[in-house]
Structure 1
Amino acid sequence: MATASSLLSAAAVRERAHRLYELGIEGELEHFDVRLDRLPATADFVLSTMRAAYPDLDIPYHSRWRHFEAGDINRWGGLVDASGLAEHPLRFGRAAYDLAIVSVLLDAGAGPDWRYEEAVTGGTYARSEGLGVASFAMFTSGLFSADPADPLRADASALAALTADELAAGLQVSPSNPIVGLEGRVALLNALGRTVAERPDLFGEDEARPGGLFDACVAAAGEASIAAPAVLALVLDGLGGIWPGRIMIDGVRLGDTWRHTKLVTDDATTQLAPFHKLSQWLTYSLLEPLLWTGVAVEDVDGLTGLPEYRNGGLFIDMGVLVPRRRDALSRTWHVDDEFIVEWRALTVALLDHTADMIRERLGVDRVALPLAKVLQGGTWAAGRKVAAEKRAGGAPPLTIASDGTVF
């Protein structure tokens, strides 16, 4: 019998997503037809996209660190060299976690009209790359630090006191450069600050900062290793309180979990579909700092694919997922609409099957090509590529009203 707490795991995301997928291939879903005959061509398209970007197939993980490299600039490496962070592994890890956690929470969809101009390089970036570069600049400026003498950190007190005006200035928001979900982003960072301050067991007793989670991961690894799902468990435990009021069962905040009438169980979790997209995206982004400091990470494939615009858009644009409503691609949806819940669940399952097809074509296993690399190489890039081919500006096929805390 499932409990509310059991939904706070990648295993639960995968299990319920595949349950809806099985109903989909049997034609028993309300909102989408699943065309498995289109999946091999989709896998081939993804593989060709991977080979174009990474000819030797030496693919990094799909994580926030890639966006800090926008324009082929190694911003983090340059910062580490200039600051001497590499000489102090714990200081390095805490700073990396501070940056990654704040940046990921700012990484919800920016909308089609927002741009960020980087003062140092003069480069202009949009969408996830723009948010990554902007958050990196805000971090290095000390915006998230409570100590002017130590800017490369994020403190609970500074995050809790951050204002919309301060964040808008950091993101260069103006009437001519609007961003989607500014207030939601500010509220999320304010909540992050409060939550971190309330959990000294995870985020540090002497100094409350998100980067304290690095110490918790190192401690959990001990002298062996830590599994990626265990990092996610720490993220979901420590940061569960930051999300806006959504579904709560038995006092457990379920975060990015939504209702679908076809997911019937005989317990309190009936009709619930968990995704934890931002939490998993964050977890992928927290694995690399561990590896960089010599901490082994296992079971990376224990995490799931990310059900968002690019991955989910790929399957719609390639004809694998066919909406049954004629107006599905022209109307605006909300994140709790069953149509969107169904789309996201099918996306998670289809990412697993796409990755399996690609591994079969390459003759490799999950260890050699984990899902984190397929996403990067990969499905996310292929989703962006096909969107650009089909629509001016590369907008995704679906329009979703978001408050900046899901996508």
Structure 2
Amino acid sequence: MIPPELAALRSPHAVRARSHSVLDHVQAGNSPYFTLDEGALDTVADYVAEVTRRAYPTLDIPYHSRWRHFDAGGVARWEALAARLEADPLETARIMVDLAVASVLLDAGAGDAWRYHEAATGLTVTRSEGLGVASLRMFEAGAFSSDPSVPLRVDAQALIGLDATTLARHFQVGPDNPLVGLEGRVALLNRLGAAMAARPDLFGDGATRPGGLIDALLPQARLGRLPAARILEALLDGLSSIWPAGLVVDGVVLGDVGRHPAIVVPDRSAGLVPFHKLSQWLTYSLLEPFEAAGVAVVDLDDLTALPEYRNGGLLVDLGLIVPRAPVDPAQKHPVDSEMIVEWRALTVALMDRLADRVRERLGLDAAAFPLAKLLQGGTWTAGRQIAAQKRPGGPPPIAIDADGTVF
């Protein structure tokens, strides 16, 4: 039985509340790492609004999710694959969940040297977009299914048996095309298979697969409405064991949680700041599959902005978060260091404040422009753009030494 104060960290409410506590700590001048120039919030809002209008002139902005990467180069790959399916809406939704989960878990940083050449289009794609396209093509080839007669599936048996040679072949990895963390990616998918096999209540007791979440969560949708936080909580419950670098407290694997002195409470959760970045990115990527199943996913802004280096880098590069001492962008900092935990928490909290100002500039309310669209419109693209302007190759202003399951 997980102590309730630790179980409570598996929620977006805890991510937001504790990140805002860290923001209060920094605003009070208690941080040895950062100060804030709150006047720069308008500068950031202007920049993000401009980037958003340029990318989406009609302000018809999709969710920030893995599905955007599948369209790299303007090619509607999922739509082409879906057109060939002979499946009812529920099975289509299960297939979408299968693809999204496998693809998101393969979305650690690819490194600067890796490329994926897509034979069908002649395109060469890199980084997250390349990983997205490669994972979709691997899925299409049936490499995540243990049943050749059902290729478009991701199941526990296939994941447990997946090896680095197979992944390398599908991702075109070789001496001249190295992919960062190949072995780690395989190990993560192996652990995903084992975690699913241990939870038939969430992933199905027949073909145990990520798409089992559709069947597990649909009964919890009242009047066809499912809170977004419920999807995240199911992921945090079912997948907590897969993260290799997850914080462990009293034998409980907490996942993407850091330590910071701003959190002062009288229980075992003292000093703990949860983020659950990859799980929230996965939740954003499951919105469309659940909608395909006929469910309205509601209360999207119960989720938080993603505390990763593009969003956080934007706030540093435009002067909202100000390092007290110069930071060498080439020096990597441990992901669990107090400075990085503080930077990530500030990112979550300040994105809440930024959202309202960007909405004002775009003339949209929170219902039309939730955080899932701010990120897409939005802050992630703006962070990549300003980084490219400031540093050759576009690395973030602060470098993180992480295993790819956090950033």
TM bin, normalised by shorter chain, reads over 0.9
- Preserved CA contact (<8 Å) 1:96 1:289: yes
Deviation digits for residues 66-120 of structure 1, max 9, x if unmatched? Answer: 00111111111110101233xx112101110000001001111112222211111
Give the whole-Å Cα distance in 1 for the aligned partners of 2:296 and 2:200: 25
Give the whole-Å Cα distance in 1 for the aligned partners of 2:254 and 2:307: 17
Residue among 29, 32, 52 paired with 1:30: 32
- Preserved CA contact (<8 Å) 1:329 1:399: yes
Q: Give the counterpart letter for 1:101 in structure 2.
A: V
For the aligned residue pairs, the C-alpha RMSD in angstroms reads 1.5
User: What's the counterpart of residue 172 of structure 1?
Assistant: 172
Give the whole-Å Cα distance in 2 for the aligned partners of 1:19 and 1:112: 36
1:249 CA displacement: 3.1
- Preserved CA contact (<8 Å) 2:23 2:349: yes
User: What's the counterpart of residue 238 of structure 2?
Assistant: 238
User: What's the counterpart of residue 60 of structure 1?
Assistant: 62
Aligned-partner SS, 2:100? helix
Aligned-partner SS, 1:394? coil
Q: Kindly indicate whether residue 60 of structure 2 is the aligned counterpart of residue 44 of structure 1.
A: no
Give the whole-Å Cα distance in 2 for the aligned partners of 1:68 and 1:245: 28
**Does 62-71 or 383-392 show the bigger shift?**
383-392
- Preserved CA contact (<8 Å) 2:21 2:262: no
Give the whole-Å Cα distance in 2 for the aligned partners of 1:253 and 1:213: 21
Structure 1 runs (4+) greater than 4 angstroms displaced: none
| Count of residues in correspondence between the two structures | 405
Return the TM-score normalized by structure 2.
Answer: 0.96
Give the whole-Å Cα distance in 2 for the aligned partners of 1:201 and 1:83: 27
Q: What is the 5 A alignment of 1:299-318?
A: 299-318=299-318
Q: What is the 5 A alignment of 1:330-369?
A: 330-369=330-369
Deviation digits for residues 215-239 of structure 1, max 9, x if unmatched? Answer: 1122221543100001111111111
Give the whole-Å Cα distance in 1 for the aligned partners of 2:114 and 2:340: 24
Q: Give the counterpart letter for 1:39 in structure 2.
A: L
Residue among 77, 80, 103 paired with 1:78: 80
Q: What is the 5 A alignment of 1:111-150?
A: 111-150=111-150
Give the whole-Å Cα distance in 1 for the aligned partners of 2:59 and 2:327: 39
**Does 235-244 or 279-288 show the bigger shift?**
235-244
User: What's the counterpart of residue 295 of structure 1?
Assistant: 295
User: What's the counterpart of residue 270 of structure 1?
Assistant: 270
1:252 CA displacement: 2.9
Identical amino acids, percent of aligned pairs: 56
**Does 218-227 or 113-122 show the bigger shift?**
218-227
User: What's the counterpart of residue 71 of structure 2?
Assistant: 69
Give the whole-Å Cα distance in 2 for the aligned partners of 1:362 and 1:252: 44
Gap runs ≥5 in structure 1: none
- Preserved CA contact (<8 Å) 1:5 1:252: no
- Preserved CA contact (<8 Å) 1:181 1:402: no
**Does 141-150 or 258-267 show the bigger shift?**
258-267
Aligned-partner SS, 2:226? strand
Give the whole-Å Cα distance in 1 for the aligned partners of 2:209 and 2:257: 26
Q: Kindly indicate whether residue 213 of structure 2 is the aligned counterpart of residue 191 of structure 1.
A: no
